[in-house]
Amino acid sequence: MSVELDGTQRRMLAEMFALLGDPSRLGIVLSCRHQRRSVSDIAEASGLSMSLVSHHLRLLRTAELLKVEREGRYAFYSIADAHVEHMLDDMVDHVLHANGASRALSTQPGGT
Amino acid sequence: MSVELDGTQRRMLAEMFALLGDPSRLGIVLSCRHQRRSVSDIAEASGLSMSLVSHHLRLLRTAELLKVEREGRYAFYSIADAHVEHMLDDMVDHVLHANGASRALSTQPGGT
DNA sequence: CCTATAGTTGAACATTTGTTCAATTGTTTG
DNA sequence: CAAACAATTGAACAAATGTTCAACTATAGG
């Protein structure tokens, strides 16, 4: 085990991290986790303007983190595939279980 | 299953993603994965100036992704804890196994 | 004590990037 | 066809961020 990544893979990974590294965008992605959502839906849920949401969605679409299904005048977004979904589950899981070691401040288990 | 994150947790996760989202920084972190490394060591391995590496190390240290052990005039950096290490293993794993679904172009298994 | 090595720090700069606003495309319905 | 709604797009702007350079601290050795 403990394999290394080549330059291209590192850049791919970094790009993905960077995309997920913006709070607005992470919120958008997480809101599409278990159901597909229209753009206005996402906008309302996240408190962001539809324009801004659309800009972010384009990036997430291009990076193949989200996919879109168009129906009439609506566009429904959801996680691109099982691979991405699994990865997100992992990361969410990690944050939820990050109680002991790494959190120096606010070490309070079971915080809502 | 399928738990949601609150605002604070989302921001924590986003911050972590953002830190790992810079190619230089990701390289630095990955180079500290399985052995501790001195700053000059990291600088040489990554092709970055020692000053820049030091700046990045401060951020990674502050976010508790890396930890430092000082010995004499040397400073050795390594992954902060098992939790972070596991998370990185996961992500590296994901990138390595991202053959089928999400890769639209260059779908060639086993590419170096 | 003086020089060399290892690392950190802060200011300054250039670039990137998130956000807003207005205009535009496409679709449905009166 | 016109009006309303859903979404996309591009230009422009402000703020954040990566990088460089020079100065500085600290430890080791002659």
| pLDDT tens string B87-110 | 999 888 888 877 644 444 344 444
| CATH value of B8-96 in 3.40.50.2300, 1.10.10.10, 3.40.50.300, 2.70.50.30 | 1.10.10.10
Whether residue B19 is predicted with pLDDT greater than 60 in this model: the reply is yes
Average model confidence (pLDDT) across chain A: 87
Other beta carbons within 10 angstroms of residue B105's beta carbon come to 5
**Residue of B33, B81, B104 with shortest CB distance to A102:** B81
- Average pLDDT estimate for A37-46: 97
| C-alpha closest to that of A89 among A34, A25, A38 | A34
CA B64, C1' C11: Å apart? Answer: 26
Domain boundaries, chain B: 8-96
Query: Which of A82-91, B2-11, B69-78, B89-98 has the largest mean confidence?
Result: B69-78
Question: Does strand C come within 7 Å of the CB of B24?
Answer: no
* Nearest Cα to Cα of residue B22 among B51, B47, B59: B59
Residue A72 distance to chain B (closest CA, Å): 26
With bands split at pLDDT 50, 70 and 90, how would you rate the model's confidence at A70? very high
Q: How far is A71 from chain B (nearest CA, A)?
A: 23
Per DSSP, the residues of A49-109 read: -HHHHHHHHHHHHHTTSEEEEEETTEEEEEES-HHHHHHHHHHHHHHHT--SSS--S---T
Q: Right CATH number for A7-96 from 3.20.20.70, 1.10.580.10, 3.30.9.10, 1.10.10.10?
A: 1.10.10.10
Confidence at residue A2, expressed as pLDDT on a 0 to 100 scale: 62
* Confidence grade of residue A105 (pLDDT, cut at 50, 70, 90): very low
Q: Which residues are within 7 Å of strand D by their Cβ atom?
A: A 38-41, 50-51, 53-55, 57-58, 68, 73-76; B 18, 21-25, 48-49, 51-52, 55-56, 59, 72-73
Q: What is the per-residue pLDDT for B102?
A: 43
Which residue is closest, via its CA, to the C1' of C10?
B55
Q: What is the 3-state secondary structure (H, E, C) of A21-35?
A: CCHHHHHHHHHCCCC
**Residues of B with CB below 8 A from A102's CB?**
64, 80-81, 83-84
Beta bridge partners of B76: B38, B69
Q: Which residues of B touch A17 (CB under 8 A)?
A: 17-18, 20-21, 26
